Amino acid sequence: MDQNCDECKRVWRAYAAATTEFYSVDKQLQTAAKGNRLETVASLVSKLETLEQAKVAAHEAISQHEKETGHR
């Protein structure tokens, strides 16, 4: 990441936020699964799928930006 580039900071921050949220929901899912709370599990699984896509999209935004600018 180029410390002087606002776009680098923005895409990395978005990726970090998506990753943090993904692991937070993943943890909630494990707790719900242990407690056998099936409805909660189902809703968290679908949330996790959405977050997984957001994580992939955020990572692609980083790759794209790095490719366009040569920033690393």
Q: Which residues contact Zn ion (rule: CB under 5 A)?
A: 2, 5, 7-8, 69, 71
CA separation for the pair 65, 45 (Å, rounded)? 30
User: What would you measure as the largest C-alpha separation in the chain, in angstroms?
Assistant: 48
Cβ proximity to Zn ion, 2 vs 26, nearer residue: 2
**Based on CB atoms, which residue is closest to Zn ion, 51 or 65?**
65
In the complex, least distance from residue 7 CB atom to Zn ion, rounded to whole angstroms: 5
Q: Minimum distance between the CB of residue 15 and Zn ion, rounded to whole angstroms?
A: 13
Helix/strand/coil percent split, the chain, to 5: 85, 0, 15
